[in-house]
């Protein structure tokens, strides 16, 4: 088991460095740099010595390999430098936005699991029936809908046309004059549309994955044996099939969490939710290299940790994996 964990940690470290190298190369390949953005926001009256000082401060006058090594030497000490927009430490900027993104993603994950898992298990017990086939088509269509399109439809129907929910933001302009229960209710109303946009595809993932897992287990020989011994259908499903179906469901941790994080960039930008997804988008537009790279490290660590946790839990649940018989 220890050798398996060490091997997965080694893979995670190699993957992490690969992500940072690719992100560093891509962001520098995009036309423009922080100096161009600085001139655009401060006008053409910035002196050349001032621009050269900024370029030197952020090591933009060095070759790319040297820039990367300088950034990496700070990153291993959790020092990601200062933002080129407001000169604040990148860690401080990320720390301000992280709770808002965590709130959004945690609620979306919880709702998706509570709806998607029972729906998938229900579908698996009714395989081949017209209602089950209809649900399969519905979940497929749900998963295929683009998030930005769904977000715009929700905004148009619930916010613009019927004025039932706020259009964007995390709180109303009058939130400061509200009582605590009113502010809480106002915040919940602002949560609804971004959470729905972030959740609907995850419900489809949970439903389809849990259905496939349970369907595969139901076809195993030990289920047939349990039925032949006279076990009731409910006992067969919950005591035997469901427990074994939970093993592959552990891998959803490594699939859903990265999907939620990537979806946050679109959702937070559209709904003006003040989280790291929106910060990521704004930093890319501003060519804020330190913040983009700092956010890349943060999201990569969360994604790799989720995948590593899923691998470990999978190995704990299925000894064949850690003994090298199961494949990964």
Kindly give, in sequence order, each residue whose CB lies less than 8 Å from that of residue 293, ignoring residues fewer than 6 positions away. 20, 23, 24, 27, 71, 75, 80
Query: What pLDDT is stored for residue 248 in this prediction?
Result: 66
Q: State the average pLDDT for the chain.
A: 82
Query: What pLDDT is stored for residue 41 in this prediction?
Result: 66
Q: Which of 72-76, 235-239, 302-306 has the highest mean pLDDT?
A: 72-76
Query: What pLDDT is stored for residue 158 in this prediction?
Result: 93
Per-residue pLDDT at 287 exceeds 60: yes
Q: Give the pLDDT band of residue 230 (cuts 50, 70, 90).
A: confident
CATH 1.10.3720.10 domain residues, the chain: 97-284
Per-residue pLDDT at 152 exceeds 90: yes
Query: What pLDDT is stored for residue 153 in this prediction?
Result: 94
Per-residue pLDDT at 251 exceeds 60: yes
Per-residue pLDDT at 323 exceeds 60: no
Could you tell me if 103 and 170 are in contact, meaning their C-beta atoms sit under 8 angstroms apart?
Answer: no
Query: What pLDDT is stored for residue 89 in this prediction?
Result: 92
Stretch 215-221: mean pLDDT:
75
Q: Bigger pLDDT: 297 or 37?
A: 297
The residues that bridge with 82 in the sheet, in sequence order, are 89
Per-residue pLDDT at 157 exceeds 80: yes
Distances (CA, A) of 106 to 84, 100, 144, 249: 30, 10, 22, 18
Tens-place pLDDT, residues 71-98: 888 888 888 888 888 888 999 999 999 8
Torsional class of 324: left (φ above 0), alpha (ψ -120 to 50), beta (otherwise): left
Question: Lowest-pLDDT range, 15-19, 87-91, 226-230?
Answer: 226-230
Tokens representing residue 251 in the block: 């891998």
Query: What pLDDT is stored for residue 39 in this prediction?
Result: 67
Query: What pLDDT is stored for residue 239 in this prediction?
Result: 67
Query: What pLDDT is stored for residue 85 in this prediction?
Result: 83
- What is d(CA 96, CA 81) in angstroms, rounded to the nearest whole number? 16
Q: Give the pLDDT band of residue 17 (cuts 50, 70, 90).
A: confident
Could you tell me if 241 and 223 are in contact, meaning their C-beta atoms sit under 8 angstroms apart?
Answer: yes
Stretch 309-323: mean pLDDT:
65
Stretch 231-240: mean pLDDT:
68
Tokens representing residue 37 in the block: 């953005």
Kindly give, in sequence order, each residue whose CB lies less than 8 Å from that of residue 237, ignoring residues fewer than 6 positions away. 125, 218
Query: What pLDDT is stored for residue 319 in this prediction?
Result: 57
Per-residue pLDDT at 127 exceeds 80: no
Tokens representing residue 76 in the block: 């291993």
Q: Give the pLDDT band of residue 107 (cuts 50, 70, 90).
A: very high
Query: What pLDDT is stored for residue 326 in this prediction?
Result: 43
Stretch 181-192: mean pLDDT:
91
Q: Is the overall model pTM greater than 0.85, yes or no?
A: no
Per-residue pLDDT at 327 exceeds 60: no
Cβ burial, residue 13 (10 Å; 0-12/13-18/19+): exposed
Q: Give the pLDDT band of residue 8 (cuts 50, 70, 90).
A: confident
Domain 97-284 is of which CATH architecture?
Orthogonal Bundle (1.10)
Query: What pLDDT is stored for residue 328 in this prediction?
Result: 42
First to last CA, the chain: 13
Share of the chain above pLDDT 90, in %: 18
């Amino acid at each position: 088991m220890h050798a398996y964990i060490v091997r997965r940690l080694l893979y995670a470290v190699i993957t992490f460095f690969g992500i940072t190298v690719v992100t560093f190369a891509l962001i520098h390949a995009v036309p423009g740099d922080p100096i161009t953005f600085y001139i655009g926001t401060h006008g053409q009256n910035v002196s050349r010595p001032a621009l050269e000082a900024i370029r030197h401060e952020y090591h933009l006058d060095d070759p790319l390999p040297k820039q990367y090594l300088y950034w990496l030497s700070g990153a291993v000490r959790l020092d990601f430098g200062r933002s080129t927009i407001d000169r604040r430490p990148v860690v401080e900027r990320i720390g301000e936005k992280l709770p808002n993104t965590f709130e959004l993603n945690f609620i979306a994950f919880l709702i998706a699991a509570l709806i998607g898992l029972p729906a998938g298990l229900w579908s698996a017990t009714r395989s081949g029936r017209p209602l089950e086939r209809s649900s399969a088509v519905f979940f497929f269509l749900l998963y295929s809908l683009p998030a930005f399109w769904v977000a715009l439809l929700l905004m148009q129907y619930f916010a613009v046309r019927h004025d039932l929910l706020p259009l964007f933001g995390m709180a109303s302009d009058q939130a400061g004059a509200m009582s605590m229960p009113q502010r809480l209710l106002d915040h919940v109303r602002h949560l609804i549309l971004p959470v729905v946009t972030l959740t609907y595809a995850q419900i489809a993932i949970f439903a389809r994955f849990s259905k496939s897992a349970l369907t595969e287990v139901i076809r195993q020989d030990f289920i047939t044996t349990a039925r032949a011994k006279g076990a009731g259908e409910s006992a067969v499903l919950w005591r035997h099939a469901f427990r074994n179906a939970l093993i592959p469901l552990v891998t959803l941790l490594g699939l859903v969490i990265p999907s939620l994080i990537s979806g946050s960039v679109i959702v937070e930008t559209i709904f003006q939710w003040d989280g790291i997804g929106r910060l990521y988008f704004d930093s890319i537009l501003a060519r804020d290299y330190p913040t983009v790279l700092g956010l890349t490290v943060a999201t990569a660590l969360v994604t790799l940790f989720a995948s590593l946790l899923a691998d470990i839990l999978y190995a704990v649940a299925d000894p064949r994996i850690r003994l090298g018989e199961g494949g990964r």
